[in-house]
Structure formats: structure tokens, C-alpha cells
Amino acid sequence: MPGLLRGVARTAVVAGTATAVSGRVQRRQAAKFADRDAHTAADRSRAYEQDIAAQEPEYADAAEPPAAPEPAKDMITQLRELAALKEDGILTEEEFAAQKARLLA
């Protein structure tokens, strides 16, 4: 019987030691994976922020109002320019009449 008791005691010690080592390894791996996941999340967050920062100037340009168009020349000035082109021989009488009708319409 003493040999049987010794064998049971030895088995209990070996099993207890194995359980303790296994728990320690498991905790160490969990901490390592948690640390790795935290670094991955931080890297992704930085990359996202850099991507957004790179796009902000693009959005800033889109937010600017378009430049105001040049003020339209008044009708009299445009008619005078057409008359000058006709007098210089650049426009024919028919072209002048068509442009004049377009302006007055």
C-alpha cells in the first residue's frame, strides 16, 4: 500500500505542476495577444487619422464657393464693340444683325 500511496501522490504532484505551468503559459499568451491587438488597433487608428487628414484639403476645396463670374458688360458696350467689329470689316452686315438680335433678345 505504501507504494500505491506514493504513486498516487506522485501523480497528484505531476498533475498539479502541469496545471500550474499550463495556467501560467495561458496567461502569458493572453497578455501577449492583448498587447499585439492593442498595437494593431493603435496602428489602424493612426492610419485612419492620416487618411482623413490627407483628404481634408480635398474637402476644403469643395467647400469653397465658386468664384463670382465677371460682371456682364452692359448692353450698350457690347453693341458698340459689335459696331466697331463691323466697321473694321471683321463682321458682315448679316453677322452684325444676328449678334445684335441675340443681345437685344
> In this structure, are 60 and 72 located in the same domain?
no
> In this structure, are 77 and 37 located in the same domain?
no
Q: What is the pLDDT along the chain (105 residues), one digit of tens a residue?
A: 677 778 888 888 888 887 877 878 888 888 888 888 888 888 888 888 888 877 766 555 555 666 666 656 688 888 888 899 999 988 899 999 998 888 887
Number of domains in the chain: 2
Give the pLDDT score at 71: 59
3-state secondary structure of 32: helix
Give the predicted TM-score (pTM) of the model. Answer: 0.35
User: Which residue segment(s) compose the domain that 80 sits in?
Assistant: 68-105
Distance between CA atoms of residues 39 and 44, nearest Å? 9
> In this structure, are 8 and 48 located in the same domain?
yes
3-state secondary structure of 33: helix
Distance between CA atoms of residues 56 and 85, nearest Å? 49
Report the amino acid identity of residue 93. Answer: E
> In this structure, are 58 and 80 located in the same domain?
no
